[in-house]
Amino acid sequence: MASERHYSPADRLLLQADAALRTLLPFSGPPTRPSPAILQTEATLDPETARHVAGLMRVNHTGEVCAQALYQGQALTAKLSHIRDAMEHAADEEIDHLAWCEQRIRELGSHTSLLNPLFYGMSFAIGAGAGLISDKVSLGFVAATEDQVVKHLDEHLAQIPAEDAKSRAVLEQMRIDEEQHSSNALAAGGYRFPAPVKFGMSLMAKVMTKTAYRI
């Protein structure tokens, strides 16, 4: 069996910098799976509806930027190697969501959020902090975050017109993946956060969604 490669702290910092660039630079993180949207026909949307859907997809893209940063921060400070590997694997899967959302935003004639670097930095710090506390808390934070993402996806699916099959296909597959990530984190020993903590996370998420929708 091949021996596990051990990275120095400097190596890990360089890997984190590379991950940040791949997350924040346009079209720099190629997906491992094709977008679910490619099987759907493009709908003709009026300008106002197209702007609204683009805003919703921009929010989802920023959410994936935050998820990437969260996972990368947790991987940097995880105490157990298998937890670190799980975080890095989850981050790789989220790259698909990033690419799918960005592609759909461009198709709708819009752009990703200009605030993504700020949200990335904040989420990375939160993830690293959770990892420093304990792997159990870190995994619990993943589960609670993914639960919030699923709620947002449900809200957005309710707003996207039925004829926009491309956007709906992307969000529906994202919802499946995010729900699985939450289940995996809890199954790995994640701490179930109490309702007051989840409520605080929900308030923070609302700030992100309102700003990313517009900027």
The SS3 assignment for 80 reads coil
155 is in an annotated binding site: no
Is position 64 annotated in a ligand binding site?
A: yes
The answer for residues whose C-beta is within 8 angstroms of residue 131's C-beta and 6 or more apart is: 73, 74, 75, 76, 77, 78, 79, 138
Q: Are 97 and 177 in contact (CB under 8 A)?
A: yes
Q: Binding residue per annotation — 4?
A: no
- Residue 88 assigned ligand-binding role: no
CB burial readout 51-77, b (16+ within 10 A) else e:
ebbbbbbbbbbbbbbbbbbbbbbbbbb
* CB 182, CB 141: distance < 8 Å: no
152 annotated ligand-binding residue: no
- The annotation status of 178 as a binding-site residue, yes or no, is yes
Asked whether the beta carbons of 180 and 151 are under 8 A apart, the reply is no
- Taking the chain, what is the end-to-end CA distance rounded to the nearest angstrom? 49
* Binding-site annotation, residues: 64, 94, 97, 146, 178, 181
* Binding-site annotation, residues for Fe cation: 64, 94, 97, 146, 178, 181
